[in-house]
Amino acid sequence: MADITYREALRQALREEMLRDERVFLLGEDIGAYGGSYAVTKGLLEEFGEKRVKDTPISETAIIGAAVGAAMDGLRPVAEIMTINFTLVAIDQVINNAAKMHYMFGGQFRCPMVIRTVGGGRRLAATHSQNLEVLFAHIPGLKVVAPATPYDAKGLLKAAIRDDDPVVFIEHSLLYGARGPVPDEDYVVPIGVSDVKRRGRDVTIVAYSRMTREALIAAEELAKQGIEAEVVDLRTLRPLDMGPVLDSVARTNRAVVVGEDWRSFGIGAEVAARIQEEAFDDLDAPVLRVNQLEVPTPYAANLEKLAFPGSQQIVEACLEVLNVRVGAPVTAG
């Protein structure tokens, strides 16, 4: 067990899967000679050569489309799209081709591919700071993964590469330097399994990707006030594993759902809806959401800081859902 960065965990996953399976290859913009815009693929061109680490033109449609075509013939491409914002110019390939490939032709074809891409971003303004995971999580036929820790990043990327369905694997630009323990031996983290990252009895915080870290910071803060928050990390957004969330809400009776995406029609809206559909009687307070405010991301540092959620907003939301219970005995008394 070594402490490594999220970036290194991802590189290890790519390298190990390329060693394990000749069918795995990488394609994307500047992943080879340049070393990857976030340096995840650094060194892989030197180790595996141009056949398996393919620098592409700036052609996202062709990158994803070519990955689909190669996957249909049995290869296991891992396409890197430099940021999630750039998937927008190729969304047809993801939604109309990758997601439909198995279904629309009656199960004849498979599309075992991974689209690695990056959400988040700071001081990059409106078109380079988006969290667009919900666009993919909406689509039957896709699997969508958004890990928060080096351990999950490595294990989920290995699972994604071995999966027979198309997986959109969403990294976070602010997590690449984050460190955490990763086993030396081979392991996978199964797709579609949420994970309790912290135990607590008073309130459930549901998060994913970088917001899991913010939720854990918030939980530490709340603990100082004698409030024990449970943090459930979704890890996979589709298929969504609500089991640990519902188990937790059954004990805490309160939930806050956190995402870096916009609130309206977002991941949090889905999770909150499922909680009330499946655990209405467990709830002692409305489910609250913490998200990016509904503006395109501004460049100015102070405005940007206002727009994004962080641990402080999570703490406040937890206190708000708890106040209902704290207030109840007062009324009774």
Partner 1 sequence: MSSEHKEVVLLPHQQDREHLLDLYRKMFLIRRFEERAAEAYTQGKIGGFLHLAIGEEPANVGTMAALRPDDDVFTHYRSHGHALARGMAPGPVMAELFGKATGVSAGRGGSMHLASLEHHFWGGYAIVGGHIPLAVGMALAHQYRGLDRVVLCIFGDGAVNTGAFHEALNMAGVWRLPVVFVVSNNLYGMGTAIERSSAVTEVYKRAAAYGMPGVRVNGNDVLEVEAAVRAQVEHARAGNGPSLVELVTYRFRGHSMADPELYRSKEEVERRKAQDPIVQFRRRLEEQGVAEAAALDAVEQAVEDAVDAAVRFADESPEPDPGTLFDYVYVNP
Buried b (16+ CB within 10 A) or exposed e, 158-169: bbbbbbebbbbb
CA distance 179 to 324: 37
Q: How far is the CB of 14 from partner 1 (least distance, A)?
A: 17
How far apart are CB 111 and partner 1 at their closest, in Å?
9
Catalytic entry in 8, 17, 60, 260: 60
Question: Which residue's CB is nearer to partner 1, number 94 or number 279?
Answer: 94
Could you list the beta-strand ranges (E) of the chain. Answer: 2-5, 24-28, 53-55, 76-81, 114-119, 143-145, 167-172, 179-182, 195-198, 203-207, 229-233, 236-238, 255-262, 288-292
Closer residue to partner 1, CB minimum distance, 137 or 231:
137
Active site residue 172: no
Could you tell me the smallest distance in angstroms from the CB atom of residue 102 to partner 1?
5
Q: Which is nearer to partner 1, 167 or 322 (CB)?
A: 167
* Smallest gap from residue 151 Cβ to partner 1 (A): 22
Q: Which residues bind partner 1 (CB under 8 A)?
A: 25, 51, 54, 56-57, 59, 61-62, 64-75, 77, 89, 92-93, 96-97, 102-110, 112, 140-141, 143, 163-165, 239
Least CB distance to partner 1 at residue 60 (A): 8
- Exactly one of 8, 29, 80, 128 is catalytic; name it: 128
Cα 80 to Cα 63: distance, rounded to the nearest angstrom: 8
- The three-state secondary structure class of 121 is coil
The DSSP output letter for 176 is T
128 is catalytic: yes
Measured CA to CA in angstroms, residue 294 lies from 70, 164, 243, 304 at distances of 39, 36, 30, 12
Instruction: Kindly list the distances between the CA atom of residue 14 and the CA atoms of 106, 158, 281, in Å, as whole numbers in the listed order.
Output: 31, 7, 44
The distance of Cα 106 from the centroid of its chain, to the nearest Å, equals: 30
Nearest to 24 by CA among 187, 154, 162: 162
Comparison of 74 and 226: residue with beta carbon closer to partner 1: 74
- State the Cα–Cα distance between residues 213 and 150, nearest whole angstrom: 12
Nearer to partner 1, 54 or 210 (CB): 54
Catalytic residues, by residue number, are: 60, 128
